[in-house]
Amino acid sequence: MDKAKDAAGRSGTIVRRADGDPREWWLVIDRSSGDLLGTITLVAGPQRPITGLNVGDMAAAEVVRKLGWTDDRPRLPERCTQQVRKTL
């Protein structure tokens, strides 16, 4: 879908994922650079009545403000501890 906008109002192309879930996910991609601008989650089917959302309503949105690569190691915020899980 061309000429769609992310939650910040920036124009992009939508890559849509709908898999029968009551939500539909959109990736908003900058057409010239291929960078991710953000994501949008829409209500695509019936939700629990307590949500107050109707089909077609935006349920959530994320905006990517900065995108890039780094060689810096990640740092945990203060008072956070790293938890390591072993997988089989």
75 belongs to a structural domain: no
The one-character DSSP state at 58 is E
Q: Which of helix, strand or coil describes residue 16?
A: strand
Neighbour count for residue 3 (Cβ, 10 Å): 9
Structural domain containing residue 38 = 4-63
Q: How many domains does the chain have?
A: 1
8 belongs to a structural domain: yes
38 belongs to a structural domain: yes
- pLDDT for 33 equals 93
31 belongs to a structural domain: yes
49 belongs to a structural domain: yes
33 belongs to a structural domain: yes
- pLDDT for 32 equals 92
Q: pLDDT of the chain along its 88 residues, tens only?
A: 667 899 999 999 999 987 777 888 999 999 999 999 999 998 887 766 656 788 888 888 999 998 888 899 888 888 888 777 776 6
37 belongs to a structural domain: yes
